Structure 1
Amino acid sequence: MEKKQKRLYLRIAILAVLVAAIVYTIYTTANKNDVKLLKVGDDAPNFSLVDLNGKTHKLSDYKGQGVLLNFWGTWCKPCKKEMPAINDQYKEFKDQGIQILGINIAQSELEVTSFTDKLGVEFPIVIDKTRSVMRAYNVDPLPATILINKDGKIENIITGEMKEKEINQYLNSIKP
């Protein structure tokens, strides 16, 4: 009798887990479409992230400036290839009303610092630890770059590796 009762409880527990998994899957699938896809001309979603030096960067603080957001990861080969070109353009444009933010996707500070130090990156690097900014901007795959004009509107969305000449053209297009 006791064996049958244990088996019954085990079956009920397994059934409860399966039902929870099904409900979760249905819920996440139904809400996946609630994320608004960003397009050129939309207001850029505001965010606040901390850089590797402890400074907080809020997108709203850069209103009146052109902003290039570059989403990347250390494992991403095209990200690694374009990073020095972005850095060179940062040096050229940083005093011309242009802000560049490198947004790493949820890696450790040690990984990110080691990667950026090796490449000599000078522009601010922030880590999107919860991937909330990545989700807000619908970023997938990496690298992805969002150009924001001085009015806080999305000017361009670039997916994939950029060459230095293209970066220069993009930054000129958002220069205030």
Structure 2
Amino acid sequence: MLKRILILLLAMPLLAQAASSTFSLVDMQGKTHTLAAHQGKWVLVNLWATWCVPCLSEMPELEALSKSRDDLVVLGLAVDGQNPRRVAQFAEKMRVTYPIIAGDEEMAKQFKPRGFPTSILYDRAGNPVLLKEGAITRKEIESALR
């Protein structure tokens, strides 16, 4: 527990700087996602790219987590500027059913990532509570949800 508190304290400046609490993302189905639209739920924004091996390795865990929790919304922001149809085909191939946004690096800048993948978890009130640069695991997310 002490280790977790220390990690949170050290990450707070980065978290506050990186996490945009005013985002508006439109997924491949045309649905707009904002923190206000998901008020009362946890929201995980995962920035990824089709060429990023660690990004792809975490997707099955994010998918399983998304399906197992009604109180969590997972949003996948593809940052590589690919054609939306290609991103949709890629997500389908990866068997991802959570909302995917076909974005680009410009869109990702609002989250100030320093690399990919980057995941930001917002609590039920819309406050950023976890910033993970690099692949994230289901266990790490579930730990933060407690």
Question: Which deviations, in whole Å up to 9, do the C-alpha atoms of 1:103-154 show, x marking residues without a partner?
Answer: 111222122112111111011111224623x212111200000010111111
Consecutive unaligned residues of structure 1, counting only runs of 5 or more, are 1-36
Q: Which amino acid aligns with 1:147?
A: L
TM-score, normalised on structure 2?
A: 0.80
Pick the aligned partner of 2:51 from 68, 75, 80.
Answer: 75
2:98: which partner in 1?
Answer: 123
The size of the alignment, in residue pairs, is 133
Residues 45 and 128 of structure 1: CA distance in aligned 2, closer, same or farther (over 3 Å): farther
Based on CA coordinates, which of the two structures has the bigger radius of gyration? 1
Shift of 1:155: 0.2
Aligned to 1:169: 143
Moved over 3 A (4+): 40-44
Residue 152 of structure 1: aligned partner: 126
**Structure 2: which 5+ runs fail to align?**
1-12
Structure 2 partner of 1:103? 77
2:4 is matched with: none
Identical aligned residues as a percent: 32
Match of 1:58 among 1, 14, 34: 34
Contact 1:107 1:129 in 2 (8 A): yes
Question: Given that residues 43 and 152 in structure 1 are in contact (C-alpha distance below 8 angstroms), is that contact kept between their aligned partners in structure 2?
Answer: no
Structure 1-normalised TM-score? 0.68
Q: One-letter code of the match for 1:110?
A: R
CA distance in 1, matches of 2:96, 2:51: 16
Structure-1 residue corresponding to 2:116: 142
